[in-house]
Amino acid sequence: MTESSTTSPRRAAIIVNPSKPVDFDVKGLVARHSVENGWGEPIWLETTKEDPGVGQAKEALAKGADIVIAAGGDGTVRCVAEVLAGGETPMGLLPLGTGNLLARNLGMDVTDFDGAMAGALAGTERKIDVVRARRDNKEQVFLVMAGVGYDATIMADTNSDLKDKVGWLAYVDAGIRNLPGKPVKASVVIDGKTVSQRGVRSVMVGNCGKVQGNLEIFPDAKVDDGLLDIAVLAPHHGKLGWLSVLAGIIGKGKTKDTAVEYFQGKSVEILLESDEDYQLDGDHEGEGKHVLMTVDPGALTIRM
């Protein structure tokens, strides 16, 4: 081994979503922190509509990146994590998205970009769970939350221009517009045991607890507990049916009302009578009626 190879500085790869509007110099921020921490020239990789992060993460590893920093929203983070999960290279977060839900659930200040960069290059590491979701023989991962039904329809129907203008409130607009709808018959199987067979509007699976607006959907969820948290939403009939769901969420599932049922397990299989919208970490991924999700404990290293 040559002397230069033993003293070559560490390099960070930045995978950035160029479509995210930002009001500061991201490249300048990354370059400054790299110099201040004694790192080499950053590897700069931009996502595209056709490849929102998976290919870029593979390229980063091929170029020998010592850390891969996802600079974007939860969709960019998820795609980078899909490549890094199960490996040794840590991931950093530069939260530039609308929700930034993983960063929020990890306790990051999503407005402190200097702190995010400093943490990625010189912070402490922790391992978090990754959830592997298989639908129609296609496996993907998610880190925050996934679902079939109403919650995924919201993601599919959110106006992107409105999201750029008002942020997460755009999801509220889509949610209100899609409140009417019919339940679909569903079977929910957790760790091989059927726990629910009924008409539902949504089945949500969480690795973290909080969503937009700091609303806590899964009160017992921890990103490193090796468990999935499952919520089955089945509003009562009539115009006030969704109030029973809201009451169940606010009551953290401790009431006798069955509009919201909570479960935990290491795997969940969702079987629907018909195709329903499907989302992973806020990205609409099409439709499906059979999804299997399993937790991969401690599979991803985060430096922050």
Structure tokens that stand for 81 in this block: 């994590």
Q: Around Cβ 137, how many Cβ atoms within 10 Å?
A: 5
pLDDT tens, 149-183? Answer: 989 998 887 777 766 677 667 667 777 677 777 89
* Cα torsion angle, 111, 117, 119, 120, sign: positive
Mean pLDDT by 10 residues, the chain (304 residues): 62 94 93 97 96 98 98 96 98 94 96 97 98 94 96 82 68 71 94 97 94 82 97 78 67 69 97 97 94 98 97
pLDDT tens, 271-283? Answer: 999 999 999 998 9
* Alpha-carbon span 85 to 237, nearest angstrom: 42
CA angle 111–112–118, rounded 5-degree value: 150
Query: Own/partner pairs for 18-23, CB < 8 Å, 24+ apart?
Result: 18/46, 18/47, 20/72, 20/73, 20/96, 20/97, 21/164, 22/96
